[in-house]
Structure 1
Amino acid sequence: MASGWAPDGAVQDQIDSTIEDAVKRARHSLSRGNSAAVCQECGEPIPEARRLALPGVQLCLSCQAERDKKMSSHAGYNRRGSKDSQLR
């Protein structure tokens, strides 16, 4: 099927690239190492259950929720490589 500027399979390539970027972002945000006893942002104690459940955790639940809210603004479509998107 002719699709203008885009080669066959371009839509799937775009979807795959978007998912790949989201996975990379999620893996990068995972904590590693020892868990902190107090939150790095607000200084409140991090509950032991949270430290045991998430090795390497550095933030309390409320600070992590705020950070996650900010990071959600990076979600979206990856339109790189699509000549059609460059023409619009």
Structure 2
Amino acid sequence: MATGWAGDGAVQDQIDATVEDAVKRARSRLQRGPSLAYCEECEAAIPEARRKAVPGVRLCVSCQEAHDREQSVQSGYNRRGSKDSQLR
């Protein structure tokens, strides 16, 4: 019977699903394959320490920071927000 109230654990289920989506999204963006010796955007040399620390790296630190800033501007809302949070 529908009562209009969320069931026990519904909020935690919503939080878990949001975190799981974020983890899947982050894992899908991980690079695969061998690291490049030169940045694919600016062609600057990528230091060996970075290539070892980040498997599959394709960008130098400067280009990666710029890329990360662009990505953070494009995302940032919880699409699973509750009805109450949407009404505020």
Question: Smaller-chain TM-score range?
Answer: 0.7 to 0.9
Q: Which residue of 1 aligns with 2:58?
A: 58
Equivalent position SS for 2:69: helix
Counterpart-to-counterpart distance in 2, 1:9 and 1:23: 21
5+ residue gaps, structure 2: none
- What TM-score do you get using the length of structure 1 for normalisation? 0.76
Aligned residues: 84
Equivalent position SS for 1:34: coil
5+ residue gaps, structure 1: none
Identity %: 58
- What TM-score do you get using the length of structure 2 for normalisation? 0.76
* TM alignment of 1:6-85, pairs within 5 A: 6-73=6-73, 74-79=75-80, 82=82, 84=83
Structure showing greater relative contact order (alpha-carbon pairs closer than 8 Å, 6 or more residues apart)? 1
Equivalent position SS for 1:58: coil
Counterpart-to-counterpart distance in 1, 2:18 and 2:52: 32
Q: Pairwise CA RMSD of aligned residues?
A: 2.4
